[in-house]
A and B are shown apart, each in its own frame.
Chain A
Amino acid sequence: MERRTIFSDRLLPILLVLPQLAITIVFFLWPTGQAIWLSLTRADPFGIRVQFVGLENFWDLFADPLYTATVLRSIFFCALVAAISLGLAMLLAVAADREIAFRRFYRIFLIWPYAIAPAVAAVLWILLLHPQIGLIGRWLNALGLGWDYKINGGQAMLVVILASAWKEISYNFIFLLAGLQSISASVVEAARMDGARGFFRFRTVTLPLLMPTVFFLLVVNLVYAAFDTFGTIWAMTSGGPGKATETLVIKVYRDGIVNQDIGSSSAQSVVLMIGVIALTALQFRFLGRRSGGE
């Protein structure tokens, strides 16, 4: 089917895209430009004395072993959040794809957590896991496990990973379920007739057909874990104890908003932006190649 323009003059189409363009410029291009400019300056909080310092903010960043540690920590965090949320969502989606009683009921409840604001989700988890007031936290302490994520860095990491992964399961679940349902019944039928069953059929037939969805979700999950977990982490641990749960966004916020070090914070934002651009490019390339090859 060939697309054809139905506009007779140029004004109307321009007017129609204008709102979107304006939004892109105001909320994306302009702040991005600002961030890039600020990353090349050193300024006091009030912006009274602004000095151009070139790439100094970037050299300072990468010379700082604490920043490198935060980068590695963020990668670890993102990988685990993506793996756990995708893994569990896959299990749930496969289970919900079958003919079982109360299927709709399960689906609704599995989708529910997605509607919860990150900070609210964090509060729910705090109420469960807090060593003094949390239900589970108190059990763990009663068992003599010495549970206190406010002091123990490993436990803190576990807590924020769980809370972040849990929130994303719903999203993954919806997509994976839709992906599973779009797999043609005849293919599954044929595999069944050939004697493929259970996990073997899932691995050799279902999973390959689901891969585009999985890959899309992987990228979305990584971006989610890198950015949208800010609310959850900030509310639960604020990056502590020590720097145990400080991810890159937490550091951007802490340095920029709390510490008013705009230059360094902007440099970090630019580094993050490059990361997202790389990830998105990878996704387009991969998905583009797949759909092109099919």
Chain B
Amino acid sequence: MKRRTLLTGAAALMASPAVLPKAQAQSGKTKIVFWHAMTAANNEEINRIAHDFNASQTGIEMEPIFKGSYAETLTAAIAAWRAGQAPHLVQIFEVGTGSMLAAGPAVKQVWELAKETGIQIDPKNYLPAVRGYYSLADGRMASMPFNSSTPVMWYNKDAFAAAGLDPEKPPQTWQELVTAARTLKEKWASRSQDRMATTSSWLTWAQLEAYSAIHNLPYATKADGFEGLDAELRLNSPGHVKHVQRLLDMAKEGTFKYGGRDATPDPLFYTEKAAISFCSSATRGQIVQSAKFRWGAAMLPYDPEVIASPNNTIIGGASLWTMTAPKRTAQEYKAVAAFLSFIGQPAQDALYHQHTGYVPVTLGGYELSRQQNYYEKAPYADVAIKSLTRGTVTENSKGLRLGRLPEIRNIIYEEFEKALQGQQNAKQALDSAVARGNVVLRAFEKSVKS
């Protein structure tokens, strides 16, 4: 019996009535529910925000509920909406944005919510690199930026010193990085079997998505998908191929080590195994806590042969989407809007930024943190902001607006992993990723067109 149900598990899971919160007004208060995917310290921070928000309100009570990983939260939200019991607010990772935008009646976009409830939410208060990812092509905000980070380069200063490199001068270009990695390998990594010169978390995000933005290379046509569902991937351009081939060559000569997908390689840096690691700026908290060595952070390197002056990186993280449900009252939407405007207050945003390591999403929050001398007290906490505001935001550095992007990321991982095993070179890997990714994009396009 168990095996048979597993067989149809996918269908059963979609159809089974999920255990869902009720949005009933208890004790006269408007209750709203917020589903999120934050764990550990970040989870406590959400609870703090909820507590502060509830304390600031008389008629509203917000209840945060942890729903698992980003992907699980998205799945749960979809299933809940289908059952007519969606949460009021849900945290959706950035790559789910394309899918959420196509969700039509399932969501109420921020501009819509503001218009209906009359609560002002001004897009201009938010960092351009952040709000761009979550806005429509004409600038109206679709979802509320919440936790944003960007890939940065973390490096081990002790390792740099041991290898005779200047710990205060991390490599700025990929050419410098390749040379530094060779030195690090020879003089530091070779001393222990576990050590490696460089590694990268979130390979697809740090080495392709952010790389495209920095070098002003289109990731996809139609302004990275912002201007239409018929976008096609372009990540097999010579500039992309050059970079992926560089990583493959580095892997071959032992100066780059692939540590797995997504955030799996994170510990390699703070456990002193990798001298240089490209990971999210939001790992800062963990690094502060765990790293028993001197460390630093710098913006991602760029390739001067591809672009003379590098642009901003794109963000990662998640935003908050307002969801609809039958019988949801105007009162409840108003409560949601009140919460969204609450977290956008400079004081709240600065607090959240400083507690978690995510970047401030509002200009006010950044300004306040500066006035509080936070960046003197917390070195390298501003690298992500500098990285997000470097150069000018172009249509190639606004973010990505592609449906089923998580799936495309997995395809890229698969092709890259095959290339690492020597089964193909960078060009073949990226060509194949583009071909397979385009099939996914076309399937998405068909599925959302009525």
* A positions within 8 Å CB-CB of B: 23, 27-28, 30-32, 34-35, 38, 42-49, 66, 132, 138, 141-142, 150-153, 223, 227-228, 230, 238, 240-244, 249, 252-254, 256-266, 269, 272-273, 276
Residues 1-42 of B, flagged 1 when their CB comes within 8 A of A and 0 if not, give: 101111111111111000000000000000000000000000
Cβ-based interface call for B448 (8 A): yes
Q: Are A49 and B417 in contact (CB under 8 A)?
A: no
Contact residues in A for B448 (Cβ distance below 8 Å): 44, 49
Q: Are B410 and A151 in contact (CB under 8 A)?
A: no
Contact residues in A for B260 (Cβ distance below 8 Å): 150
Q: Are A242 and B8 in contact (CB under 8 A)?
A: no
Helix, strand, loop or mixed for chain B's interface?
Answer: helix
Task: Determine which of A35, A48, A49, A223 lies in contact with B8 in the assembled complex, contact meaning CB atoms within 8 Å.
Answer: A35
Task: Determine which of A42, A142, A152, A260 lies in contact with B99 in the assembled complex, contact meaning CB atoms within 8 Å.
Answer: A260
**A74 CB to nearest chain B CB (Å):** 14
Contact residues in B for A32 (Cβ distance below 8 Å): 4, 7-8, 11
Per the bound structure, the CA–CA distance linking A270 and B420 in Å amounts to 34
Contact residues in B for A253 (Cβ distance below 8 Å): 9-10
Closest Cβ neighbor of A256 among chain B residues? B10
Q: Are B5 and A49 in contact (CB under 8 A)?
A: no
Q: Are A45 and B421 in contact (CB under 8 A)?
A: no
Task: Determine which of A138, A151, A262, A266 lies in contact with B417 in the assembled complex, contact meaning CB atoms within 8 Å.
Answer: A151
Contact residues in A for B423 (Cβ distance below 8 Å): 242
Per the bound structure, the CA–CA distance linking A258 and B14 in Å amounts to 12
Q: Are B406 and A259 in contact (CB under 8 A)?
A: yes
**A258 CB to nearest chain B CB (Å):** 6
Q: Give 19 CB contacts A-B under 8 Å.
A: A23-B1, A31-B11, A34-B11, A34-B12, A44-B448, A45-B99, A46-B81, A46-B103, A138-B193, A151-B258, A153-B421, A223-B3, A241-B420, A258-B406, A258-B410, A260-B404, A262-B10, A262-B14, A263-B447
Q: Are A46 and B5 in contact (CB under 8 A)?
A: no
Q: Are B447 and A27 in contact (CB under 8 A)?
A: no
Task: Determine which of B8, B82, B105, B193 lies in contact with A141 in the assembled complex, contact meaning CB atoms within 8 Å.
Answer: B193
Q: Are A27 and B81 in contact (CB under 8 A)?
A: no
Contact residues in A for B407 (Cβ distance below 8 Å): 258-259, 261
Closest Cβ neighbor of B408 among chain A residues? A259
Task: Determine which of B78, B414, B436, B443 lies in contact with A46 in the assembled complex, contact meaning CB atoms within 8 Å.
Answer: B78
Q: Are A276 and B106 in contact (CB under 8 A)?
A: no
Closest Cβ neighbor of B429 among chain A residues? A242
Q: Are A150 and B447 in contact (CB under 8 A)?
A: no
Q: Are B447 and A254 in contact (CB under 8 A)?
A: no
Cβ-based interface call for B373 (8 A): no
Closest Cβ neighbor of A49 among chain B residues? B450
Task: Determine which of A35, A48, A260 lies in contact with B104 in the assembled complex, contact meaning CB atoms within 8 Å.
Answer: A48
Per the bound structure, the CA–CA distance linking A286 and B13 in Å amounts to 34
- With A47-B82, A241-B417, A241-B421 given, is the CB distance from A27 to B406 under 8 Å? no
Contact residues in A for B9 (Cβ distance below 8 Å): 31, 252-253, 269
Q: Are A258 and B71 in contact (CB under 8 A)?
A: yes
Contact residues in B for A276 (Cβ distance below 8 Å): 3-4, 7
17 new A-B contacts at CB < 8 Å, known A48-B106, A228-B3: A31-B9, A31-B15, A32-B7, A35-B12, A46-B81, A132-B268, A141-B193, A153-B421, A238-B261, A240-B414, A241-B414, A242-B415, A252-B10, A258-B75, A259-B404, A260-B99, A266-B11
